[in-house]
Amino acid sequence: MRLENKVALITGGGSGIGKESALLFAGEGASVVVVDLNPEAGQAVVSSIKAAGGQAVFAKADVSKSADCQNMVQVAEDTFGKLNVIFNNAGISHAKDDDAVSTEEDVWDLTFAINVKGVFFGCKYAIPAMLRAGGGSIINTASFVAVLGAATPQLAYTSSKGAVLSMTRELAAIHARQGIRVNALCPGPLRTELLMKYLNTEEKRQRRLVHIPMGRFGEAEEMAKAALWLASDDSSFTTGATFLADGGITSAYTTPL
């Protein structure tokens, strides 16, 4: 049990990486706060955890709202008595995100409100709780595109994930001696609903796959396992890391196989 006696909060916990992480963390002994904007999806994950004998509670939150993020941390402490892990995973990739000329201001603002401000608010309210608990682990979902840039224009998304990397590094330096570790998980292209709605033909999928040395898309379950390592004491000497789980795409992005 790698997270025995730990309390973990996961945003975007109703689907994708967040859902798989919630299920995995609970299976490893954590009490889990499943946070999502969609109560039906979040409650379904909570029900699955409880059916398997685990402990979980749902908290509804729009992570771009300060009060919602403050409340979700309060739910963790009120329900389970503490907070040891927060996985700031909620994020969006807007369908109208494009290059600088074509991307509208409202698309930029919404992307940053969720992807950047949401991580900021998660950290803002989780860090005091972690200090009360004696330390903890913060995991922020960034992306491989924050390291490389995207082959298909998605400027707001790429820029927002770059901001997450910078925030992660600075918070790691600030809080390292307080027993709080802060790391960024950077997934490569995944077989998730979010990406597959854009790569909606075999031709589009193959154009992306040619750049991935492993020749396949990653799975949400694989990102959950990476997050588990960062959440657990197994990564006790790891902070400020850009943790790439990308099938090798950043090592050979311009080299078709």
Backbone φ and ψ of 88, nearest 5° = -80, 85
pLDDT digits (tens, 9 = 90+) for 81-138: 999 999 999 999 998 999 999 999 999 999 999 999 999 999 999 999 999 999 999 9
Rounded Cα distance, 46 and 62, in Å: 18
Residue at 213 is within a domain: no
Residue at 198 is within a domain: no
Task: Point out the residues that are catalytic.
Answer: 157
Which residue, chain included where needed, has tokens 């959950």?
A: 224
pLDDT digits (tens, 9 = 90+) for 65-82: 999 999 999 999 999 999
| Alpha carbon distances (Å) from 234 to 9, 226, 240 | 19, 11, 15
In the structure encoding, which two tokens stand for residue 185, read together?
């998980």
pLDDT digits (tens, 9 = 90+) for 232-244: 999 999 999 999 9
Residue at 257 is within a domain: no
**The pLDDT value given to residue 257:** 46
pLDDT digits (tens, 9 = 90+) for 24-37: 999 999 999 999 99
**The pLDDT value given to residue 205:** 80
Q: What sign does the CA torsion over 63, 69, 71, 73 have? A: positive
Which CATH number belongs to the domain containing residue 82 in this structure? 3.40.50.720
Residue at 39 is within a domain: yes
Q: What percent of the chain has pLDDT over 90?
A: 81
Residue at 197 is within a domain: no
Angle, to 10 degrees, between the axis of helix 118-133 and the axis of helix 155-175?
Answer: 20
| DSSP 8-class letter at 30 | -
Q: How many domains does the chain have?
A: 1
Least confident of 10-14, 145-149, 181-185: 145-149
Residue at 252 is within a domain: no
Residue at 211 is within a domain: no
**The pLDDT value given to residue 196:** 74
Rounded Cα distance, 146 and 192, in Å: 19
Domain limits for position 132: 7-191+220-243
Residue at 149 is within a domain: yes
The whole-model pTM stands at 0.95
